[in-house]
Amino acid sequence: MSALSSVLLWATLFAPLALLAACFVARWRTTALALQWLAPVPGLCAGVLKLTNATSSMETSALGFTWKLDAPGALLLAVAALLWIVVSAAVWRDRAPDDRFGISWLLTMTGSLGVFVAGDLVAFYLFYALVSIPAYGLFALTDDPARRRAGAIYMAFAIFGETVLLLAFAALAAFEPHGSVAIHDVMAALPTSPWRDVTIGMLVAGFGMKLGMFPFNGWMPLNYSVASIPVAAVLSGAGVKAGVIGLIRFLPGGAPLEGAGIAIAVLGCVSAFLGVAVGLTQKNPKTILAYSSISQMGVICAALGLAMRDGAFASSNLAFYGLNHLLVKASLFLSVGAIIARREPLGGLSLVIVSALALSLAGLPFTGGALAKLSVKPYLDGVWASALTTASSIGSAWLMAHFLLRLKNTPDEYAGETPAAIITYWRAIALGAILLPWLFYPAVGDVSKALEPIELWSALWPVAVGAGLALAQRGFDNRIPRIPPGDSIVIYEIVFARVSALGPALENLDTRLRHWQVTGVSFVLITLALLSAAILG
Amino acid sequence: MTPLIVATLVAASLVGIGVYGFILHPHPLRKLLAFNLIGGGVFLVFGIVARRGSAAGLPFDPVPQAMVITGIVVAFAASAIAIAIIVRLYKLEGGVDLDPALPRKSDGESTES
Amino acid sequence: MMELAANTPAGSLLVLAILLPVVGILLAFALGGRSAERIALGLAPLSLALAVAIATAVARAGKPVTYMIGGLQPPLGISLRADGLSATMLVAVAVIMIAAMLYARAKFGVPEGSGESRSALTFWVMVQAVWGGLAMIVLSSDLFNLYVALEVLTFAAVPLVCIEGRPEALVAALRYLIFALFGSICYLLGVALFYGAYGTMDIILLSQQVEAKPVVWVAAALMTTGLLAKTALFPLHLWLPSAHSNAPAAASAVLSGLVVKGSFFLLLRLWFYVLPALQAEDVMRILGALGSVAILGGSALALMQARLKLLIAYSTVAQIGYLFLVFPLAAGAHEWSHIGWGAGVMQILAHAFAKAAMFMSAGLLAESLGHDQIARLNGAARALPLTFLTLAISSVSLVGLPPSGGFVAKWLMLQAAVASGQWIWSAPILIGGLMAAGYAYRILTPALRHGEALLKRPAQPRREAIALALALVALGLGFTPESFYDFIEIGRPLTMGPSP
């Protein structure tokens, strides 16, 4: 058993890397790119193997790194691999091979699968960087100004997040007494670290940038609205989950942490409602989906924060919430593309399916979303928490109903971005996304509980209220002020422009500094400074 | 005023004058002269240092003298290279300005060949 | 640990390591410019083998390899000494030198049938002189001998800058020369004061005798600033951008990758080998602060540059800044000093390889496109894929993304900063990384976009491969085994490393 599991872990990482290596040989490149859909297969197998043999430990080491798969990792890995297989197969069936896009795709895929199996800090950081940075090549390498802007902003947040995480990881490693960088060891040492709260703060900020958490949410709507349909599907589905697994892995459980926990919960709450509020002012379905992601990730953060407050280990349940979002959000993006590409009025079965899919995010009964709500419920008890949860469900339902009503506004250009296979099979994919979570739920809880009448009712009425609100919104929709996609990003851009404007002044300063007399004086001053520091010190 | 004090003062003045000239005089030739003045001062310091040999019973310490000679050779070589470049520049350009021009535009076009 | 050993068995290798380049220079003069290239390339593998042999000897013995020239013990004699750090440097120098020489063959080679040229002879002689000077710097254990080595290095580097004879290159070379002379004369004054106080120049003897008194501080301050000037630490960088961007690419690679590390190496020698007991906290902080200013200033200026070569040169200004964080982060004998020391050495190596690769790529790019204006790079990656792959990989290391030497350096630096409670240093480290990402973005993204780049000259895959190989070394440094960090502690006084 252990031999099989190490082989699968190995293959999870090396299958995409092998294809990537093949891309550097001109003769193999076309074949390698066409076979991309095979690369995530070992990851899927590894995830399923772990889920069916929960007790077996999957751990191996290669290249000096530790690779480890635990239950939350397995949940996300299996579904992310599935998504990559489906989308890759569809994309590369009818796409002319494009090296830049293909290599970016493979690199992002490697990172996306790798974060779930990384067992130490350095490996996690490596794959986290891979899932973040090459994704730029999937949508921004054009001359289109909107895409370039979105790309530059995406890159800025990605690099900034990496930077904050690097410091956080260094702090984690520095206070591990035995010099180990295994995630398990550093997390055991974190509660006693003298810089515990600062470290937690940096971790939340770093992963928050990936999750679009307030106030780092601006890049996400820009990115998803310019990315092509399949790219938006994998990035919003699988890519963002790197942040979810990051928070699951790196937020401490086991001992109650009141202050930090509540702070995170509040931040999550703000994101959850901000996402809904700004999303309701948007018209483009892709942008609305992006704001829905911000909101959903906010819910995860809030639940995580509350779990941390109580000292509970929330990992598998939250991973399940992430799993549901992964499937639903990716399928929603694919459905948007497929529906516009079919150019026929939405009705009948198609309408039912896409509505169920959308409202799954609000916890519609019998969908995976109902299970997802159920899985995080234990952390959201208490008067405030349950009131906010209900409000958030209503908000999600409102936003998703708004999305459904706005589907007719889908810009025509998205039709051309949608792979033919997705156009044909989108209903199957959507149904899969609604139902697959039922298959995975036994890993975290009891399925029958979701079918109790009281649960059904408490899941149903917020959805109904939300849908009603969305219908009501149509009456005054034109009077709602339009917030530009990316909301707060406008402020960041102004600040950035101000800072960039200092450039010429800086260059002048440099030229002056390089004048001989100035340098000579600097020389003397440095000597004196060193001397006085040495003598007085 | 013992000879030691005189030598020390001279060395200090040479270094001081040299540093002053080096920083303030714009012309490279003067900078080179200033460098040689500082060098002279430093070599004098070596000479002063050589007196400590007398404490060990020798008339003087031979090691610093060897170093001074090496130093002079190095300074000579340095001056020769600098002069060669200066002469070359005079032939090509008719003058030398060591400071970068303030609105720095020349860098952009100069080597676009 | 610090007693003066007699010659250790492999000691004579040290003499050979210095002599080989000198022999090459003399032979080149004797046999004329047409054979200079063959002599240099013929001797280079021998020098690499020697460097590896010395490193092996140090690793096997677990202590430094020493050699007394003429059998005379210090203080009268001069000793050569290879410890873990110098052996590492020696190997790195050999690898980069060989790469630069192979790369330079296209420009300075003398094919059959053509007459000898002055620039070719100058290049092959001077590049060997740089190698010899660097070998002397890393192997000498005598402060005055180190002065001579430092000057040899300068005198070899200056002609490399102005080898093409263009006026702006000559001005750059003159600025470099005169400022470097000022730096080394200050260093020499410090040496004189040390000799006056203790009657020896030997690093080991001095380290056993130095005590905190004014003359030592004056000497240390003069030597330090002198070396800062030669290392071009911001704001003493007046010569570096023009010198490094005006030299031919092969020379820029050597100058930026190795030559500035020569004077930095002496700073390490001074503060960690001569004065390890006197590392005044404030002095370390000043050096760290200067380094931080260099990181921020250099990176910001790199972001502004319109020309690729100048951008890379300013990036060197910034990366030199990182080196100086080693002073606050590796000072003293704490557990974190070991981490900080490893970080510093890794930064030297990662930058040397990545920057050499970058300058080589920039040179190829300028030759193929006929310009190195960043604004006009649109679509260039499609025309020169290998060159841009090299630029991308080197950038990964400069930015500090894994897996790369640059990442390991930053990772260790941050750990040392956190563990020592000096959080303040993490700010320049991280902001510098962000800005490095910014300038890498400026080069790489336009090149990856659509667009037609007209090649004035076809790509040169063999030279591109040389640069790529160096970049891959920078990447491979990310997988450095743990034992390397013990190796570079060999012979370092006052350490808490696992092998004291």
Whether residue C327 has pLDDT greater than 70: yes
**What pLDDT shows up at residue A323?**
92
**What pLDDT shows up at residue C144?**
93
Residue A496 is assigned to a structural domain of this protein? no
Position of tokens 């530009």?
A: A484
The CA-to-CA distance between both ends of chain B, in Å, stands at 64
pLDDT tens-digit readout, C412-422: 999 999 999 89
Measured CA angle at B10 (ends B6, B14), to 5 deg: 175
**Residues C284-290, mean pLDDT to the nearest whole number:** 95
Residues of B in Cβ contact (< 8 Å) with A524? 19, 23
* Chain B contact probe: residue of A509, A516, A521, A523 with most B CBs at under 10 A: A516
Residue A150 is assigned to a structural domain of this protein? yes
Measured CA angle at C161 (ends C159, C163), to 5 deg: 60
Contact C304/A at CB under 8 A = yes
Q: Chain-wide mean pLDDT for chain A?
A: 88
- Do residues A443 and A527 both lie within one domain? no
Residue A215's alpha-carbon distances to A294, C147, C242, C320, in angstroms, are 11, 55, 42, 35
- For residue C63, the distance in angstroms to the closest alpha carbon of chain B comes to 29
Q: Chain-wide mean pLDDT for chain B?
A: 82
Question: Which of A52-66, A282-296, A423-437 has the lowest average pLDDT?
Answer: A52-66
pLDDT tens-digit readout, C308-319: 999 999 999 999
pLDDT tens-digit readout, A9-21: 888 888 988 988 8
Q: Look at A516 and B99 and tell me if their CB atoms are within 8 Å.
A: yes
- Do residues A433 and A525 both lie within one domain? no
**What pLDDT shows up at residue C360?**
95
What CATH number is associated with residue B52?
Answer: 1.10.287.3510
**What pLDDT shows up at residue B57?**
66
Question: Which of C224, C241, C451 is facing A530, going by the closest CB pair?
Answer: C224
Q: Look at A519 and C238 and tell me if their CB atoms are within 8 Å.
A: yes
- Do residues A454 and A531 both lie within one domain? no
Q: How many CB pairs under 8 A join A and B?
A: 25
Residue B110 is assigned to a structural domain of this protein? no
Residues of B in Cβ contact (< 8 Å) with A523? 23
Whether residue B108 has pLDDT greater than 50: no
Residue A88 is assigned to a structural domain of this protein? no
- For residue C110, the distance in angstroms to the closest alpha carbon of chain A comes to 34
- Do residues A442 and A515 both lie within one domain? no
- CB-side exposure of B30: number of CA atoms within 13 Å? 13
**What pLDDT shows up at residue A95?**
66
**Residues A264-273, mean pLDDT to the nearest whole number:** 92
Residue A303 is assigned to a structural domain of this protein? yes
Q: Which domain holds residue A217?
A: 121-489
If contacts are CB pairs under 8 Å, which of residues 474-533 in chain A contact chain B? 507-508, 511-512, 514-517, 520-521, 523-524
Q: How many CB pairs under 8 A join A and C?
A: 140
Residue B105 is assigned to a structural domain of this protein? no
From B98, which residue of chain A is nearest by alpha-carbon distance? A516
Is this complex's ipTM strictly greater than 0.85? yes
pLDDT band per the 50, 70, 90 thresholds, residue C271? very high
Question: Which of A150-154, A496-500, C415-419, C455-459 has the lowest average pLDDT?
Answer: C455-459
Q: Which domain holds residue B76?
A: 3-97
**What pLDDT shows up at residue A266?**
92
Contact B99/A at CB under 8 A = yes
Whether residue C1 has pLDDT greater than 70: no
- For residue A60, the distance in angstroms to the closest alpha carbon of chain C comes to 18
Q: Look at A166 and C433 and tell me if their CB atoms are within 8 Å.
A: yes
- Do residues A453 and A529 both lie within one domain? no
Packing angle between helix C260-268 and helix C308-324, nearest 10 degrees? 10
- For residue C190, the distance in angstroms to the closest alpha carbon of chain B comes to 9
Q: What is the domain count for chain A? A: 2
**Residues A406-417, mean pLDDT to the nearest whole number:** 83
CB atoms under 10 Å from CB of A513, counted, come to 18
Q: Look at A507 and B99 and tell me if their CB atoms are within 8 Å.
A: no
**What pLDDT shows up at residue B106?**
42
Question: Which of A240-254, C36-50, C148-162, C247-261 has the lowest average pLDDT?
Answer: A240-254
- Do residues A518 and A468 both lie within one domain? no
- Do residues A278 and A155 both lie within one domain? yes
Cis link prior to C328 (omega < 30° from 0)?
Answer: no
pLDDT band per the 50, 70, 90 thresholds, residue B42? very high
C28, C121 contact by CB (below 8 A): yes
Whether residue A179 has pLDDT greater than 90: no
List beta partners, residue A410: none
Residue C201 φ then ψ, to 5°: -115, -5
Q: How many CB pairs under 8 A join B and C?
A: 104
**What pLDDT shows up at residue C108?**
86
pLDDT band per the 50, 70, 90 thresholds, residue C54? very high
Q: Which chains share 3+ C-beta pairs under 8 angstroms with A?
A: B, C
Q: What is the domain count for chain B? A: 1
Contact A536/C at CB under 8 A = yes
Give per-residue burial for A305-331: e unless 16+ CB within 10 Å, then b: bbbbbeebebbbbbbbbbbbbbbbbbb
Q: Look at C155 and B67 and tell me if their CB atoms are within 8 Å.
A: no
Question: Which of A64, A133, A503 is facing C479, going by the closest CB pair?
Answer: A64
pLDDT tens-digit readout, C199-231: 888 999 898 888 888 999 999 999 999 999 999
- Strands, DSSP E only, in A310-376? none
Q: What percentage of residues in chain C have a pLDDT greater than 90?
A: 69
- Do residues A367 and A224 both lie within one domain? yes
CA dihedral A103, A105, A110, A113 (to 10 degrees): -170
pLDDT band per the 50, 70, 90 thresholds, residue C96? very high
- Do residues A422 and A527 both lie within one domain? no
Residues of A in Cβ contact (< 8 Å) with C307? none
Residues of B in Cβ contact (< 8 Å) with C167? 89, 92-93
- Do residues A466 and A525 both lie within one domain? no
- Do residues A392 and A428 both lie within one domain? yes
Question: Which of B22, B24, B102 is facing A511, going by the closest CB pair?
Answer: B102
Instruction: Return the higher-pLDDT residue of A466 and A446.
Output: A466
pLDDT tens-digit readout, C358-382: 999 999 999 999 888 998 888 888 8
Contact B100/A at CB under 8 A = yes
Q: What percentage of residues in chain A have a pLDDT greater than 70?
A: 98
**What pLDDT shows up at residue B98?**
78
* Full DSSP string of C357-370: HHHHHHHHHHHHHS
**Residues A218-227, mean pLDDT to the nearest whole number:** 90
- Do residues A412 and A512 both lie within one domain? no
Question: Which of C426, C437, C450 is facing A159, going by the closest CB pair?
Answer: C437
Whether residue A314 has pLDDT greater than 70: no
- For residue C23, the distance in angstroms to the closest alpha carbon of chain A comes to 38
From B103, which residue of chain A is nearest by alpha-carbon distance? A508
**What pLDDT shows up at residue B77?**
93
